[in-house]
Amino acid sequence: MNGKHHGDLKIILQSLGMILIIIGVLTVIPLLVAAFYNEDLTPFFFVSLIPMVAGMLAVRFIHPDTEFQARHAAIAAALTYLIISFLGAIPFTYYGMGLLDAFFEAMSGWTTTGLTMIADVEVLPRSLLFWRSFMQWLGGVGIIVLLLTILTTGRAGLRLYQAEARKERIKPRLISTARLIWWIYIFYTLVGIFLFFIAGMSTFDAANHSMVALSTGGFSVKNASLGAYNSLEIELVGIFLMLLGGINFFVHYKMLTGDKGFILKDLQVRAMAAILIISTLIIGLTSLSFRDAFFQTVSALTNAGLSTASIAVLDDFSKSILSLLMIIGGSAGSTSGAIKIIRMLIIAKLIYWWIKQTLLPEHAVFSRRLGGIEMNQEVTHEATVFALLYFVILGAGALSLMFLGYSSADSVFEVAAAQGNVGLSAGITGSDLNPFGKIVLIFNMWVGRLEIIPVLVLGQSLFGLRRI
Amino acid sequence: MKREKHPDLKAVSQSLGMVFIVIGLLGLVPLLVSLFYNEDITPFMAVSVLPLAAGMVITRFYQGEIDLRVKHAAIAAALTYLIAAILGAVPFMYYGMGLLDSVFEAMSGWTTTGLTMIADVEAMPRSLLFWRSFMQWLGGVGVIVLMLVILAGTGSAAEKLYQAEARKDRIKPRLLSTVRLIWWIYLIYSLAGILLYYLAGMTVFDAVNHSLSMLSTGGFSTRNLNIESFGSFGIELVTILIMMLGATNFLVHYKVLTGRRSALFRDLETRSLFLITILGALVLFLKVPSLRASLFQAVSAITTTGSSSIDVTALGEFPKLAMSFMMMVGANTGSTGGGFKIIRFIIVLKLMAWWIKEKLLPEHAVITKKLSGVELTSENLQEPAVFLLLYLFIFSLGTLAFTYMGYPTVDAIFEVVSAQSNVGLSAGITRAGLEPLGKALLIFHMWIGRLEIIPVLVLAESILRIRPKKRPKEIL
């Protein structure tokens, strides 16, 4: 190893150290919840102490001498999700789960997926249930955004921010943007708790469901998810929160600062509304009741993964429609995952332009705009390549599950749910799943949350795949 | 007066008139076959005389210089395959098949797909069987290419028509020399195929039919069980060879035949074809008991031929999906095969690799984007990616429709890919008892797949006039 590599390692370790400190500090909250409910403090004590000590050591003793580059940020982001999934797994293993299952559960939490290895969540201690929801809530806006709110940063901050699949800035300064996102997020969470409470939930249920719905995570404290309450009001609140989570935070900012009409002008919101209406009609007319159909389409498109009906009993057609929604995903700049609506719009436009080019006389030039903005080659290129990469990884995952003997409809559904960080399940996920299948899904959740590139950068630097 | 008002109509009609004439002339071949076997010549009279007469009238009526634009060429190509499918359906209807089934069979023929509505082909008259194989053989190189050879079309109009039928490569600088050469190579291989099949133990009739349908990567057979019915390793090997020949770019064939043997292994697309075939066979071997069958089915899928040496419907989900993937990728450009085409697939992979590389390198680093030593422009790069997404989109709609009709997802995927890539393997959905909507959908997929999508969209636009008068207003 030469000096340059040492520099890379140092700077990555330092940023990981900072992230660990934050995680350690925030775990005080589940610790308090455990204390409040008079439950065992030990697991959360570990989750809090280990990262804090490790983080402080890293920050204290590592003094990087290299400039923080995009590469470092990508590797740090990819490693962050692996490390915090190990940390997040501690309470689960403490309560008797196997390591792989616990790791799966924590990855599903941090990535806001919501697939679960636990067949009966209702017997779990409340502090553990809260821990699941809390991971999703933090994961929703992104661990690294969290880091930025607390620390003041320069270029390094921007790199990390982008590496965690965020691009837009609401305020000119990055730190202000991150803080603003958090304030909006906290505000909505409190509103959600209040609404769920009014609709008839207990305080504990309301707090948990508000966190998982808004973060589009989808863990529930009930085995039957929101279907357990069988209450229209609760379902409506759930839909409202999932939609809030699936909309770009820039739109929220505009709305909250007085520009009420802005939501109707946003292309992604309009596209989302159209997709939801069409797919609700399709599923409502073919298999589920309209009430369940609407809830499930919202849950799939926003990548939340809460459910009011059993997915496993649906026919292949409805499963395929939901799989498509899960692959599309919510708005860019929201808490949801998958390809994102804006990329889909760009691709649709590209196809339209391509046809138009054929129809017009040769060498005719026309402007290529989306939402009034001229689209340059770089943007369209990014959208197409990203979508294609997404399909490749999705296909590989689905083939792996099919190799284990699951049907193609279920395999595609499950992998789409994992990679889009949705968490609806066609019944494949469970503690009896083959370990290979669990690892495949963990990988898809991880890759999906980071929007692929950081994982590839990590792979490249680990295996030295310099030549592409 | 009509001619001045409708320059579009004139340009398209003139090209179509020529297509009619060509089909009519070629219809004489099956006519001779039916004479030879002492079978009813009526249906083939209809197939040759009708279009000949129609073609003569049309070309008389629409005479003179035309300014054929890309748009017209696209519409002509799209209509050509529709008209050919309807004409090709006539003999099937004569022998008692329904209209939709007959059009399906003919579309499957001309597009070199090979899906069939006929449960028992062995009961069919020989002239009809020959007609099926003959359509595939003509369709393999392309009806329009054929037209250019026979009617000696040249100039920019011919050029546009040539490209509208999903072709781009030129072997010789002049287009006419190129298409003539393609046909010579094609004839030589067909004759070689007949000889090899005969040596491997087929009757002359079977040898001719299989050579025609396999080289064109069509896949129609004169037997109900396709190649499986012969149960002969020798025949399977000959079939594999012929399918691979059909799926290789004719430019490579030309080089090899003129003495440059190394061209076969130097061509990136051909190397990839071999590689995917071997990998595909190994993947299938994970779940298919015999390596011999795995290899045969992998070749049949990747070359988009669609012949089978085992019962494909009985395979599990994993091999079906793996085969669907191979069918989607398809054969080489400039070959008789269909699908997405390997070179596009390579470009898309490269595109991803370069994108990742750009992300990995320090900001503003520039990387050269070369493939086989040729620098690719951003236009070259965009086209395959957009095409793939469009291909996937149309494929998904078809698959959803079949799952809606109640078929399992895996079968729906398999059948739609097989139709859209013009393969012809079936998971069991295609049969005379299929709902009319399902048949119509598969016809549509075969048609749009053969033309590589765009011509069909252009045709749809010119019929529906969906082009907006002005740019729709959009606000962020």
Which tokens belong to A396?
């590989």
- Tell me the C-alpha distance between B186 and B336, whole Å: 10
Measured CA angle at A404 (ends A403, A407), to 5 deg: 80
Judge whether residue B476 has pLDDT over 90: no
Residue B474 — very low, low, confident or very high, per pLDDT cuts 50/70/90? very low
- Tell me the C-alpha distance between B244 and B332, whole Å: 10
Judge whether residue A467 has pLDDT over 50: no
**Overall domain count for chain B:** 1
| B339 secondary structure, DSSP code | S
CA dihedral A301, A307, A312, A317 (to 10 degrees): -30
Residue B7 — very low, low, confident or very high, per pLDDT cuts 50/70/90? low
- Tell me the C-alpha distance between B238 and B240, whole Å: 5
Contacts of B71 in chain A (CB under 8 A): 358-359
The answer for A 327-366 residues in CB contact with B (under 8 A) is 347, 350-351, 354-356, 358-359, 361-362
Question: Which burial class, exposed, middle or buried, applies to B375 when counting CB atoms under 10 A from its CB (0-12, 13-18, 19+)?
Answer: exposed
Give the whole-number percent of chain A exceeding pLDDT 90. Answer: 56
- B364 lies in some domain: no
Q: Which of B283, B285, B360, B448 should one mutate to test binding to chain A, selecting the residue with the greatest count of A CBs within 10 A?
A: B360
| Positive/negative CA dihedral, B91, B92, B96, B99 | negative
Q: Residue B370: in which H helix or E strand, if any?
A: strand B370-371
- B16 lies in some domain: yes
Across the range A119-134, mean pLDDT stands at 94
**DSSP for A323-359, written as a single string:** HHHHHH-S-TTSS--SS-HHHHHHHHHHHHHHHHHHH
Distances (CA, A) of A466 to A13, A93, A458, B356, B360: 22, 38, 12, 11, 9
Chain B: nearest CA to A307, how far in angstroms?
22
Measured CA angle at A309 (ends A303, A314), to 5 deg: 90
Judge whether residue A20 has pLDDT over 70: yes
Which tokens belong to B189?
């291989």
Contact B409 A412 (CB under 8 A): yes
Contacts of B348 in chain A (CB under 8 A): 388
Q: Where are the beta strands (DSSP E) in A305-435?
A: 369-370, 373-374
Residue A463 — very low, low, confident or very high, per pLDDT cuts 50/70/90? confident
Could you give the ipTM of this predicted complex? Answer: 0.84
- Tell me the C-alpha distance between B348 and B344, whole Å: 6
Amino acid at B39: E
Q: What region does B254 belong to: left with phi over 0, alpha with psi -120 to 50, or beta?
A: alpha
A318, B31 Cβ separation under 8 angstroms: no
Chain A: nearest CA to B45, how far in angstroms?
38
When CB atoms are compared, the residue of B353, B400, B471 closest to A320 is B400
Question: Which burial class, exposed, middle or buried, applies to B205 when counting CB atoms under 10 A from its CB (0-12, 13-18, 19+)?
Answer: middle
Judge whether residue B19 has pLDDT over 80: yes
Give me the pLDDT at residue A327, please. 95
At A64-76, the pLDDT tens digits run 777 777 778 888 8
Which tokens belong to A71?
């590469």
- B252 lies in some domain: yes
Weakest mean pLDDT among A364-368, B87-91, B242-246, B437-441 = A364-368
Give the whole-number percent of chain B exceeding pLDDT 90. Answer: 54
- B117 lies in some domain: yes
Give me the pLDDT at residue A357, please. 79
A426, A398 Cβ separation under 8 angstroms: no
What is the pLDDT of chain B when averaged over all its residues?
A: 86
**Exposed e or buried b per residue across B38-59, where buried means at least 16 C-beta atoms within 10 angstroms of its C-beta:** ebebebbebbbebbbebbeebb
Contacts of A388 in chain B (CB under 8 A): 348, 351-352, 385, 388-389
Chain A: nearest CA to B150, how far in angstroms?
28
- B278 lies in some domain: yes
At A298-320, the pLDDT tens digits run 999 999 999 998 888 888 899 99
Chain B: nearest CA to A424, how far in angstroms?
19
- Cα A458 vs. chain centroid, distance in angstroms? 19
At B368-394, the pLDDT tens digits run 778 777 777 777 778 888 889 999 999
Chain B's closest residue to A359, CA to CA, is: B71
The answer for A 361-380 residues in CB contact with B (under 8 A) is 361-362, 367, 369-373, 377, 380
CA neighbours closer than 13 Å in the CB half-sphere of residue A22 = 21
- Tell me the C-alpha distance between A193 and A201, whole Å: 9
Judge whether residue B169 has pLDDT over 50: yes
Neighbours of B469 (CB within 10 A): 6
B289 and chain A: CB distance < 8 Å anywhere? no
When CB atoms are compared, the residue of A351, A377, A407 closest to B317 is A407
| A376 secondary structure, DSSP code | P
At A128-160, the pLDDT tens digits run 999 999 999 999 887 667 656 554 444 555 666
3-class SS of residue B217: coil
Q: Residue B374: in which H helix or E strand, if any?
A: strand B374-375
- B468 lies in some domain: no
**Exposed e or buried b per residue across B74-107, where buried means at least 16 C-beta atoms within 10 angstroms of its C-beta:** bbbbbbbbbbbbebbbbbbbbeebeebbbbbbbb
Beta bridge mates, B371:
B374
Judge whether residue A185 has pLDDT over 60: yes
Neighbours of A134 (CB within 10 A): 25
B282, B322 Cβ separation under 8 angstroms: no
- Tell me the C-alpha distance between A277 and A341, whole Å: 15
Question: Which burial class, exposed, middle or buried, applies to B441 when counting CB atoms under 10 A from its CB (0-12, 13-18, 19+)?
Answer: buried
Give me the pLDDT at residue A373, please. 79
- Tell me the C-alpha distance between A78 and A92, whole Å: 22
Q: Which domain holds residue B165?
A: 2-329
Residue B399 — very low, low, confident or very high, per pLDDT cuts 50/70/90? very high
Contact B378 A377 (CB under 8 A): yes
B41, B34 Cβ separation under 8 angstroms: yes
- B87 lies in some domain: yes
In terms of average pLDDT, the best of A159-163, A371-375, B326-330, B472-476 is B326-330
- Tell me the C-alpha distance between A177 and B283, whole Å: 49
- Tell me the C-alpha distance between A32 and A47, whole Å: 13
Give me the pLDDT at residue B472, please. 46
Give me the pLDDT at residue B475, please. 41
Chain B: nearest CA to A72, how far in angstroms?
10
At B189-203, the pLDDT tens digits run 999 999 999 999 999
- Tell me the C-alpha distance between B145 and B254, whole Å: 17
B360 and chain A: CB distance < 8 Å anywhere? yes
- Tell me the C-alpha distance between A146 and A151, whole Å: 9
A297, A279 Cβ separation under 8 angstroms: yes
